[in-house]
Structure 1
């Protein structure tokens, strides 16, 4: 039996709860992690389709928030080159976030917590063609 493929991205329970509430307000959601300035280190949450994706974006995975539709997570390819050895966890904390991200009016912001993938996790992702 083959072990399941490791995830590149996950979320905390608090982030899942907030995403369920935000989905009720805004409909299906998506995340994009850019490599840009300003809020470039914060994951930006948008109504799905409100952020234009292109050939320079990498799909990291889909977050199961306990609804019918998962929340896809994307990252710019240039940023992925820096973070391809990293497992990301989307969390939420109190404080002012990015003005364009849907959680901003709620006095909270999403942030990324990270750890280095184990050698085994990275090898499994590479072997499965998820190394992009």
Structure 2
């Protein structure tokens, strides 16, 4: 995979731009984690400490609801066309969720999920790998 970002499919009604992306390093780690844990999801809450880091969970382990916003869906298909996981229709996207309150603060930013060495102190599935996901944000230059 080239050293580029993977943009999420647009999920917010009325928008035609991606709000979240993954670095190539994140995609690589996510494929490894998918093989170990099955389908995955991200949730970005608010608050301090690990609340400001994106948490990666097995899909469905973190229950989302009306207080969350689905910012995007990623297709982590392998370069050879295979999928790291599947459901009956042959696809299983990785969803990126954010708490509605946090989205209120970050609605004007584009988020890129990156991975760095070091261990976070949360329940995110990458912790045993000695790595952690983090968000790199940039201001969007289009109206939201």
TM-score (norm 1): 0.84
Q: Deviations over 1:30-72 (max 9, x none)?
A: 0000003320110000000000111100000012322342210
CA contact (8 A) 2:75 2:92 kept: yes
- Report which of the two has the higher share of helix: 1
Q: Which residue of 1 aligns with 2:35?
A: 24
2:123 equivalent to 1:97: no
Task: Measure how far apart 1:98 and its partner are.
Answer: 3.1
Task: Measure how far apart 1:99 and its partner are.
Answer: 2.9
2: distance between equivalents of 1:16 and 1:70? 13
Matches within 5 A, 1:32-43: 32-43=43-54
2: distance between equivalents of 1:12 and 1:64? 13
Counterpart among 23, 48, 65 of residue 12 in structure 1: 23
Q: Which residue of 2 aligns with 1:107?
A: 130
2:102 equivalent to 1:71: no
Counterpart among 69, 79, 85 of residue 58 in structure 1: 69
CA contact (8 A) 1:98 1:109 kept: no
CA contact (8 A) 1:8 1:61 kept: yes
In the TM superposition, structure 1's runs of 4+ consecutive aligned residues that sit over 4 Å from their partners are none
CA contact (8 A) 2:69 2:97 kept: yes
Unmatched runs of 5 consecutive residues or more in structure 1: 124-132
Paired positions, count: 118
Q: CA RMSD in A?
A: 1.4
TM-score (norm 2): 0.77
SS at structure 2 position matched to 1:49 = coil
